[in-house]
A = this chain, B = another copy of it.
């Protein structure tokens, strides 16, 4: 039997529930609605992040709370992701659904996580009626970055680059504050708020002494981990060294190998990292094929010299140029109250797959 109208409506509601949580961390966003035989909602649940109950478990718990034990017996569980079949920080949702006596499971996206998949098969084997792929595209979009990370087996890397019209990231004397406008800088904070870690090279710490925290954007949950890549020691007086000394989430990775960086961050359950620079680190990630998305802030400014936004990529001739798909272009206007501010053009790009 295909999905009923009530089940599709419940799936839309489950997607809404899931979307309440920011798309960060090691776990997908999942929502669940339990329907009784009359198609009325028994309870709802959604996953609030690593270490908290999965959506199905939360919905079952609420069903018991409101209608007493056995409330979910014979019910239909509508859930945005195939119920998991593994022991992580919590037990398998499949066991919880079977234990509660759920008769039918309607799910959207199939679980792309090889460690957690097989839930549908186990449910079917236990006699539960299972229907998958209901509003699956919507569910995949909800966890697009998480899904990409699982497919890649490493964190998704978004490279943020800020430069002048002539591709300079800093002036001849190393100064770079500020090339882009205030709206662009706040945009970077919004990017940070959506990732698990922010990555820079030691050169950036030495040149700019950045803080790398989210300050000018809403943040749900913890600050992203701040990661410095490179062999040089951080000055004890630098903002990041002082933050580390104060026990904040700052980590130095003493390597130049982007693969090693991403392996370590994956191990730390990071699924999406923001690469903020500088030119040498960006080039190392690019050459390793480890840049997945690019957000480029281009200011209407000329410098004529100074550090380039990206270092040598090993490209010798135009036919070998690295080409990107242009997903979006936006003008971030200047603050009309501030004559020193500048507008910035934001380009959202993705490296072409052919390269």
A positions within 8 Å CB-CB of B: 163-168, 170-173, 175-179, 283, 286, 296, 298, 300-306, 308-326, 329, 331, 342-343, 345, 347, 349
CB neighbours (8 Å) of A296 from chain B are 165
Contact B300 A304 (CB under 8 A): no
17 A-B residue pairs with Cβ-Cβ distance under 8 Å, sorted by A, are: A163-B166, A163-B167, A165-B296, A167-B309, A170-B318, A171-B318, A172-B317, A286-B304, A300-B347, A300-B349, A301-B322, A301-B323, A302-B321, A304-B312, A323-B342, A326-B331, A329-B329
CB neighbours (8 Å) of A306 from chain B are 315
Q: Complex Cα distance A179/B298, Å?
A: 18
Contact A286 B315 (CB under 8 A): no
Contact A175 B347 (CB under 8 A): no
Query: A163-B167, A329-B331, A347-B300 known; A175 and B313 CB under 8 Å?
Result: no
Contact B300 A325 (CB under 8 A): yes
Q: Complex Cα distance A139/B63, Å?
A: 75
Kindly list the 5 A-B residue pairs having the minimum CB-CB distance in the complex, ordered from nearest: A167-B167, A304-B313, A175-B318, A166-B167, A302-B322
Contact B165 A165 (CB under 8 A): no
Contact B167 A317 (CB under 8 A): no
CB neighbours (8 Å) of A314 from chain B are 304
CB neighbours (8 Å) of A342 from chain B are 323
Contact A303 B298 (CB under 8 A): no
Contact B304 A166 (CB under 8 A): no
Nearest chain B CB to A173 CB, angstrom units: 5
Main secondary structure of the interface of A (DSSP, over half): loop
Contact B166 A309 (CB under 8 A): yes
Q: Complex Cα distance A248/B347, Å?
A: 42
Nearest chain B CB to A237 CB, angstrom units: 22
CB neighbours (8 Å) of A286 from chain B are 302, 304
Nearest chain B CB to A268 CB, angstrom units: 29
Nearest chain B CB to A168 CB, angstrom units: 7
Nearest chain B CB to A294 CB, angstrom units: 8
CB neighbours (8 Å) of A323 from chain B are 300-301, 342
Query: A286-B302, A318-B179, A321-B302 known; A166 and B308 CB under 8 Å?
Result: yes
Residue of B nearest to A181 (CB): B326
Contact B304 A329 (CB under 8 A): no
